């Protein structure tokens, strides 16, 4: 069983920001977590900490890289298989953010507006030197994304269900199945059932 140590939310933000700040050049950080874990808000806190300490940082929400409704709702609005395999446009995320940043020093902050089901009409941005882009959202791990640092805000299934509206229960089923079928350990694993009282997994050296 992995060993965890309690950590304050502020200290966790500092820990992740510190690890990100140590990355050279342009860097991609994945913040993986169910919507109930609110990974986007946490990513924004890390980005703010980085900027306050002189490292440029931006956040991309995975929900700004959804596929059009004609694709993601083709079978049923609450189809867990579609949510797991066809809802989010991971190839576009790779092309427009990860590869674009690493190879060309530019990135697209949003592709598709999930609410209006139209193009986000975002403009490609030129990255300042040393930019850190934090990509936040569900089911990021196990996708083969070329990220420089991965953080998982891990919640138990029961905790996610308590914080998820009943009509969105299919998203919980999808996340559980994805984690089962695509196991991948993050660089930083955070126990997040209680976001005001998180705990971080200790490295083997820390356990001695």
Would you place residue 1 in the very low, low, confident or very high pLDDT band (cuts 50, 70, 90)? low
List the chain domain ranges.
4-201
Would you place residue 50 in the very low, low, confident or very high pLDDT band (cuts 50, 70, 90)? very high
Which of 69, 68, 62, 72 shows the shortest CA–CA distance to 96? Answer: 62
Tell me the whole-structure pTM to 2 decimals.
Answer: 0.94
In the sheet that holds 27-32, the strands lie side by side as 4-6, 199-201, 188-191, 149-154, 27-32, 132-137, 57-61
Out of 27-31, 73-77, 145-149, 166-170, which region has the weakest mean confidence (pLDDT)? 73-77
- The yes-or-no verdict on residue 208 having pLDDT over 50 is no
pLDDT average, residue stretch 116-131: 96
**Domain 4-201: top CATH class:** alpha beta
């Amino acid at each position: 069983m992995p060993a965890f140590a309690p950590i304050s939310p502020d200290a966790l933000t500092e820990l992740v920001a510190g690890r990100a700040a140590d990355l050279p050049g342009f860097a991609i950080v994945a913040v993986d977590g169910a919507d109930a874990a609110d990974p986007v808000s946490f990513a924004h806190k890390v980005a703010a900490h980085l900027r306050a300490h002189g490292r440029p940082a931006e956040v991309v929400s995975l929900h700004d890289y959804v596929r059009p409704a004609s694709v993601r709702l083709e079978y049923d609005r609450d189809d867990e298989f579609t949510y797991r395999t066809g809802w989010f446009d991971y190839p576009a995320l790779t092309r427009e953010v990860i590869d674009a940043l690493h190879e060309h020093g530019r990135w697209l902050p949003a592709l598709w507006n999930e609410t209006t089901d139209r193009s986000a009409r975002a403009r490609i941005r030129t990255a300042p030197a040393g930019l850190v882009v934090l990509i936040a959202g569900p089911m990021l791990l196990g996708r083969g994304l070329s990220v420089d640092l991965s953080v998982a805000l891990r919640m138990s299934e029961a905790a996610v269900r308590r914080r998820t509206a009943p009509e969105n229960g299919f998203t919980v089923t999808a996340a559980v199945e994805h984690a089962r079928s695509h196991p991948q350990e993050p660089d930083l694993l955070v126990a997040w059932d209680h976001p005001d009282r998180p705990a971080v997994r200790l490295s083997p050296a820390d356990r001695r």
